[in-house]
Structure 1
Amino acid sequence: CVLNMQSDGGVVTDSSPHLPSCCELLELVLRKGLQPVLSLVQRDYWQCFEQLPHQDTCSSLAVEQTRVCRKLISAQGRGRYLLRLALGRKTLSQFFTHLLHTPRVLEWYSPTSSILRNEEFVPFMSLLLVLSHMEFKLDMENCSFLDESWLLPVCDTYEVVPCREVGMVLGRVFILDLVPGSQAHVDMFVSSGDIIDEINGTSLRNCKNGQAGVVLSRLKGCPLSIRILRCRAQDGTIYRPLVKILRALRTENPNAQLGLTPQQKQANVGQKPPGASQCLKEGIVYIVKYLGKANIGMFGGKEVLQHAIPQVLHKNQPSKEVLLDLKETHLTCTDRNSTMKLFEHHYPEVSCVGRFAQPGYTIFAFCVDSSETPRSSGFCCFVLKAGNINECEDIVCRIAGFKHTE
């Protein structure tokens, strides 16, 4: 497996198919011949590394970082975390060398069965040198399942703009359902069965029942950064360590469609996201017409839209077909023909958004503070036209957050 990774070339990441086998090999060598304490309590290799003298700063910092990681519970999880850390920092051979030169720790291994204490270690050391010359780029924050498995889940970060209600119904740290019309349901980023690993840097690995909901309620109205562990692997199958847990959750919550994405749930009931021209992981893209913009003065409340929109329409400027990309934290508008970006604004910059109260209801606009833009002052109103009334309403709801943002 080591030679396979080397032959693949490039940087080794968590998606490498040979990485788990390589880590299992290292773990097997470290466990073989490790004798129990007083023939009763079984040691693990984490205790060996933990007892090594602090001969260099790099090794001691790695051990300390492993010791204080709140996502790890068992000695097995900590040992695996340390091995991944050593691979990324190219210090794995140093740990083995320290182990061999620390007699009080080395004596924990059987001289007859341990690889570390016989001639078999020489070819193994050459493999360690090969690993030390390879580049590893591993996500060390994705470690909550190291206690159970070397196979790690897909990990993503869900960035949520300030909103009244995220809309995720939680069972411990599992997402059981999404509230229809909520921010999470609109964003379609998380799925039932996914796991919340962190919220704004706070680990939920060993939290008590309901603690995730308490953390979310305390951060109500604040920007959120949520680390999500996917219930499905890269190939679309259920992440193996979760199979039994999800089966039990389905028994406890028979109405929860665990493991289905919001798009799949909508397909099950014969519905499609209204107005979306293209759904992407990063956002939703609409094909609309850009009608123009106008400076509206120092007030950017919603009341100005019914005056600002006619101001733009009376200019009779030629419209442009554009791609309006509503991402998780900001929106961008790009000319569909030239691919030139016309503008980009983060959602907190938008002071108001709404439709034009005229027959058709397909024209909408939003205002942003342009005082920081050179040669501009006050607020600027951008006016666009959607393809139909449903698409227009959907865009306005997504920008404003509808019931989610103030």
Structure 2
Amino acid sequence: METLECELLWCWLGVPCTALRAVRMSNSHPLRPYTAIGEIDHVHILSENVGALINGEEYSDVTFVVEKMRFPAHRVILAARCQYFRALLYGGMRESQPQAEIFLQDTTAEAFSMLIKYIYTGRASLREEREEVLLDFLSLAHKYGFPELEDSTSEYLCTILKIQNVCMIYDVASLYSLGKLSSTCCLFMDRSAQDVLSSDGFLSLSKGALLDIVQRDSFAAPEKDIFQALMRWCRHNPNENHTEIMAAVRLPLMSLTELLNVVRPSALLSPDAILDAIKVRSESRDMDLNYRGMLIPEENIATMKYGAQVVKGELKSALLDGDTQNYDLDHGFSRHPIEDDCRSGLQVKLGQPSIINHIRLLLWDRDSRSYSYHIEVSMDELDWIRVIDHSHFFCRSWQKLYFPARVCR
């Protein structure tokens, strides 16, 4: 499971991280792969010679027809490179007859041409291709069983994500269960949720991909914006089950005004559903509502970089500066009075509602004193949930604290 961090320090907030960049040095010429003495490696020559056969009529014994374009090929090469073609061309079916023509309907000529080049040479150039062609190419790699090609294409797609294409790429990634590409798309969409909702690509999502996205706790757009985007999707896809789509909206997170003036006129939800949402909102604890929150894994979100601020405590500036070394009795740490009623304390307000499950806390450790403490989280600063209770322990120095993930502010 990912670690969702809110890294706090009793005296500081945040620990600076050092990024190490490794540079790989090669002692061989870039155009001549290193080989041991007595070993010959001319794979590049083999690739060039076999690649010269691409689209050549000479010696070919099978032809693929894609979008009226003909691709002559060689059975033995295709069969050696791909189990799918081995079964197709040597399995006794009609396609195994000499000089057979095979018509492919589920791809484009551009993508198939890239695949043929990869089969013959082991190479593919992705940088100049349109996203649509790359996704067709990815689907061919998946269909014909080229896992290394599938992985390499997915890795490249991760590097070109933008608002205009992320929905289209996620749709394909989820269809083929490409975990890394799917999670990268989700992380991108989580951080740009409102822009994704207003994009044209959002309207073209499949129902399954759409629900996967908006049902995530970390898809942290305002619920009104999510509702209106789903309403546009329903109008763009009139044949889908709109009841199932609208069930993804978290109505209790919307205000009474939004429920009455935005949701009710749409007629996409029944009056009973709206009344039930009002009932839940009025009768539930605030922290029991199913809030959405930003998810930034493995980063300290309790910093000024992410808009966090200290709203209670003395010497507030030291709680956010990340300096865990330079502190003494006079400066460098935050503090609060210790009172029996526990009304005082240190309080940090995050820049936005966030999902956290980890806090690192540094207690004063320059003498022999120890401390008891508890940690509570809230969305509205009124309803608090205690996530850590060390009230009956004697604690010192660094505290590494884990608890079930919660959305809080």
Regarding TM over 0.5, the answer is no
Give the structure with the higher percent strand.
1
Tell me the TM-score range normalised by the shorter chain.
under 0.3
Point out the structure with max Rg over C-alpha: 2
* Highest RCO, 1 vs 2 (Cα 8 Å, sep ≥ 6): 2
The TM-score, its normalising length taken from structure 2, stands at 0.25
Give the structure with the higher percent helix.
2
The TM-score, its normalising length taken from structure 1, stands at 0.25
